[in-house]
Chain A
Amino acid sequence: MSHASSYPTASSATDGTQVPILQLEHVTKRFGGLPAVEDLTFSLRRGEVLGMIGPNGAGKSTAISLIGGALAPTEGIVRFQGQDITRFAPHQRAHLGIARTFQITQPFAQLDIRDNVIVGALFGGRIRTRKEAAQRADAILERVRLVDKAHLKGDELTVADRKRLEMARALALQPELLLLDEVMAGLTPREVGEAVELIREINQSGVTVLVVEHVMQAITGVSDRILVLHHGRKIAEDKPDAVLSDPQVIEAYLGERYARQRAGEQSRRLAQQVGGEVPPATPGGAEKENAE
């Protein structure tokens, strides 16, 4: 909590420093009585990569949905470039420049990969014609290395390719802020390396990135800062090194995790045991895919 105040909030943003691209102010989301995210406050500077980690059920996906607009917060305010977007529909946020991926991948199953990406390009707000959208889609498919599979249908892909498709579709919006929800879960180490490289590339082209993972190692390299969620609350927010050595984080999350890993247990079983509390089903049964 002590770190929260060291980042600019809406009120302090006017003193010459740049307005943060994204601000969450005391955001709480409850399902029934259960809080999935509680009193979450943080902000993103334009051009940075913020990693968000936490065990299963920590509220990461809920946080993404609150920013993307699929869920409305019970309390609190979400700002994008200083504008209050708390009550904006997801498509309005997409037009403003917020793109997201889904943890449980959501391809348009009957469309081929290329058409999946064309849909993203067509409705991002900048491209109107199908031809332009197709060109843009082809360029993006090249960038995420899906060109060879452009003619497969959305439901014919491997896990890694489905994650790539999620990213390709989000990129097609030409977003200013990209929300990546566990795009590395279920990937092989080599694929994780490729994904990290891709995120770095996307960030260097000027896109601000919020990357959510439950695998810490994957994002320490690429993140400028890391925010740790536990039971829906922020327990740390700092540079990767500082977070890694934060005793609270180690105790709540990493310690348990590393101890078990040393014991040689499978990470999927870990994930199930660590994530003590799972929020009630959001549409599509939120956190299920984690178990893979």
Chain B
Amino acid sequence: MARETSSDRGLATESARASEPRESRSWLWSLGIGVAILGLIATVPLLGDQSVLSLWTFILMYCVLAQSWNFIGGYAGRPAFGNVAFFGIGAYTVSLLLLAHQSYWLGLALAPIIAGLFAFLLGLPVLRLRGHYFAIATLGVAEALGEIVQSKNIGAPAGEISLTPPDMNFELSNALFFYGFLVLSLLLLLGTVWLTRTRFGYALVAIRENEEAAEALGISTYWYKVGAFVLSAVPTAIAGGLFAYWQLSFDPVGEGGAFDVTISVAMILMTFLGGAGTILGPILGAIIIEYLDQYTSVAFTTIHGPLLGLLIIVVTIFLPQGLIRLVQELVRSPAGVKQSYPVRFKQGVRRVTRFILSNGI
């Protein structure tokens, strides 16, 4: 082995030179753009408009949810359909403690621990299930939790939570929740970048791309999947905790409820539109979809639902790999050959066309 490594050194470092810069640029670009986007959003409270602030707080909340789902759904490629369960667990943990006159911070600290533990214990059986079965088992658990909270009157009759507002100025508290979600999203951005550079990240991607091969290469696929599930549960629960004290009143099930399955679907749709398994995808997807959703629900109240349905159809048919990958394909130069940008772009357009139309029969 030593012989071959030394004799190959020259070529090895040469090929490393050819590849290293491209890789570094790609994650640095994502990080830079992500920080810039979040930095821009950070100025929203300065506008002083409460309805705009509320819109962007929702957008940031969905950024967090989509970024969290990205770990299990995007990187590990598991179709988790019930991540709203962790959101609900977070919201109800915080609410129950507040109703019992405990500190909010205690709730916010306990929420991720409980949700993480729940994800671990749930993941042990359900991550053994394949494809659709895993999707529906997770979906079922989320539905069942909401139903139990509702019918067992947890927290309040029918689980309908109503909290006393925090003891501070209404506008200040709204701004604080906005920044809470912003910081969480920033942390997730950094965490995702870090993940893509580690063994853990490589393991998850390998599992997504080909579980059998990953296992044969020495990756303990089961435990990595459980890890990714817990990793996606923890920030989701914190977001649930922020949501609860920000909204003050909410139901367990139904539209806007803490266990509302459409929240699960939103996470997935947003991540998909932006690009599952990419650093920026969930953020972009969350901004686009949540903005459109809020806008159309105000402007076109009656056809808002069909419009959202059409949007999903269009996204899945034409962009099943997401916006980010589309851009990546546009600028990618294959085989590490240096090409001028016009040539690269022309080839990129051809690749993208093929890529958009490639899945049919």
**A and B in direct contact, judged by CB atoms within 8 A:** yes
A: residues with CB less than 8 A from B are: 68-70, 89-91, 94-95, 99-100, 102, 106-111, 114-115, 118-120, 122-125, 128, 130, 134-135, 138-139, 141-143, 147-152, 154, 156, 169-170, 172-174, 205-206, 283-284
Task: Say if the beta carbon of B166 comes within 8 Å of chain A.
Answer: no
Interface contact B215-A142, CB-CB below 8 Å:
no
In whole angstroms, how far apart are the Cα atoms of A115 and B199 in the complex? 12
B1-37 at interface with A (beta carbon < 8 Å):
1, 4-5, 8-9, 11-13, 15-16, 18-19, 22
In whole angstroms, how far apart are the Cα atoms of A14 and B261 in the complex? 63
Interface contact A90-B215, CB-CB below 8 Å:
yes
Nearest CB on A from B344, distance (A): 13
Interface contact A151-B334, CB-CB below 8 Å:
yes
Q: Which of B45-53, B134-142, B152-160, B206-214 lies on the face that meets chain A?
A: B206-214
In whole angstroms, how far apart are the Cα atoms of A169 and B12 in the complex? 16
A-B contact pairs, 11 of them (CB 8 A): A91-B216, A106-B210, A108-B213, A109-B209, A115-B202, A138-B13, A139-B8, A139-B9, A142-B15, A151-B334, A154-B209
Task: Say if the beta carbon of B151 comes within 8 Å of chain A.
Answer: no
Residues of A within 8 A of B15 (CB): 114, 138, 141-142, 147, 150
Nearest chain-B residue to A127 (Cβ)? B199
Q: Knowing A107-B210, A151-B335 touch, does A139 contact B5 (C-beta < 8 A)?
A: yes
Interface contact A151-B336, CB-CB below 8 Å:
yes
Q: Which of B58-66, B178-186, B218-226 lies on the face that meets chain A?
A: B218-226
Interface contact B218-A70, CB-CB below 8 Å:
no
Q: Knowing A118-B202, A143-B8 touch, does A123 contact B334 (C-beta < 8 A)?
A: no
Selected from A70, A109, A135, A174, the residue in CB contact (under 8 A) with B216 is: A70
Residues of A within 8 A of B202 (CB): 115, 118-119, 122-123, 130
Interface contact B12-A91, CB-CB below 8 Å:
no
Task: Say if the beta carbon of B161 comes within 8 Å of chain A.
Answer: no
The total of chain B residues at the interface (CB under 8 A) is 36
In whole angstroms, how far apart are the Cα atoms of A139 and B15 in the complex? 9
Q: Knowing A91-B221, A114-B19, A138-B16 touch, does A68 contact B216 (C-beta < 8 A)?
A: yes
Nearest CB on A from B272, distance (A): 15
Residues of A within 8 A of B213 (CB): 102, 106-108, 169
Task: Say if the beta carbon of B217 comes within 8 Å of chain A.
Answer: yes
Selected from B19, B197, B198, B217, the residue in CB contact (under 8 A) with A151 is: B19
Selected from B16, B197, B209, B217, the residue in CB contact (under 8 A) with A135 is: B16
Nearest CB on B from A94, distance (A): 3
In whole angstroms, how far apart are the Cα atoms of A109 and B208 in the complex? 10
Interface contact A108-B209, CB-CB below 8 Å:
yes
Residues of B within 8 A of A154 (CB): 209
Interface contact A148-B220, CB-CB below 8 Å:
no
Selected from A107, A142, A173, the residue in CB contact (under 8 A) with B218 is: A173
Nearest chain-A residue to B209 (Cβ)? A108
Task: Say if the beta carbon of B91 comes within 8 Å of chain A.
Answer: no
Interface contact A94-B217, CB-CB below 8 Å:
yes
Interface contact B212-A149, CB-CB below 8 Å:
no
Nearest CB on A from B214, distance (A): 7
